[in-house]
Structures are given as C-alpha cells and as structure tokens.
Structure 1
Amino acid sequence: MREKRWKVDIFIDEHEARTRAVARLENPDHTGLVGTGLARLSPRDTDVPEIGDELAAARALADLAHGLLEAAATDIEGVTAEPAHLRE
C-alpha cells in the first residue's frame, strides 16, 4: 500500500490583543483548503501569548476539519448522486 502524506502548516500572527491562526492543508487532492481561527485577550485576563496561540491554532484546525468534511460530502454526493450525511 502506498503511503500518502498530507501536510498542515499553521501560521500565527498577533495584532493588539488578538491572535489569528491560519491552517493550510498541502494535499494534491484538496488544494486550497484553509482554516482560520481567532483568539482575543480579555482585558481582565493575564497576558499569556502561548494560550492565545493554542486557542487560535485549535480553532483554525477545527475550521479546516469542517472544510474537509464538506469536501468529502461533496465528493460522496458526486459519486453516489445522493445526499451525503456525515457525522462530525
């Protein structure tokens, strides 16, 4: 069996108490799939940048996962000509 490799890069940047993450999937079959996630620092919270990075990255990966499920459902519907019902 041939092994396939899917690579996800996560890019994180910060602007004024907001952290943004972008997760980009590198996959020959699903080019252009991207997930984004945001986190913001509440004025009453202690500033711990790693927590903002973790939250934003987790949200970006969740968004990317949702996009993959939608792509799979679309592919299934194209093959079966019936509505796909995928559980998340």
Structure 2
Amino acid sequence: MDATKNWTVTIEISEHDGHTRAVAKLHTGKNDEIAGLGFARLNPVDKDVPDIGDEIAAARALSDLSRRLLGTATDDIEQNSGAPAHLVM
C-alpha cells in the first residue's frame, strides 16, 4: 500500500534561572501524541548564551522522543506478532 503521511514535531522550550526545559511532542494525526523531555542548565563559569541551552535541551528532548517512539514500535510489533521484539537504534 502506497501512502504519504505527515507527522509533525513541536518543541516547547522554557527557561528559568539558568535552567532550560524542552518538551518535544510528536503528532501523528491519529490523536496519538508521544512526548520526550530534555533539560539543560547553565554552568556558573560559562557565559550565559540562551540559544545554547535551548539547543541542548531540545536535542535531549528529541533523543528521548526517539527512544520512546522506538519503544512504542517495539510494543506494537510484540502485540501483532505475539513474539518478543528487540529493536535497536
């Protein structure tokens, strides 16, 4: 079956007192949503460059999202096949 699907990822970033938190949400269009979390903190000896904290927290959130999505796929395979699945990155 040929099909084209569009999934979107939104990343929400918040900063407070040298701490950055990012939430990456995957929207599949089927009322499914998977979210990953990422954090960064400013080292007191480093120059405060907010974009760097944003990038680190977002990268970590996307990495967490990727791990969670692979876990979801593993669960789906096991439910459909009735056998253990061992997906790796």
State TM-score, norm by structure 1: 0.94
Q: Secondary structure at the match of 1:28?
A: coil
Q: Deviations over 1:19-53 (max 9, x none)?
A: 01000111134713000100000111111111000
Q: Deviations over 1:48-70 (max 9, x none)?
A: 11100000000000000001000
Number of residue equivalences: 88
Change in 2 beyond 3 A, CA 1:24/1:65: same
2: CA distance, partners of 1:49 / 1:85:
38
- Could you tell me which residue of structure 2 aligns to residue 19 of structure 1? 20
1: CA distance, partners of 2:72 / 2:30:
10
Superposed structure 1 runs of 4+ greater than 2 Å apart: none
Identity across matched positions, percent: 51
- Could you tell me which residue of structure 2 aligns to residue 7 of structure 1? 8
Q: Secondary structure at the match of 2:87?
A: coil
2: CA distance, partners of 1:30 / 1:75:
16
State TM-score, norm by structure 2: 0.93
Name stretches of at least 5 consecutive residues in structure 1 with no aligned partner.
Answer: none
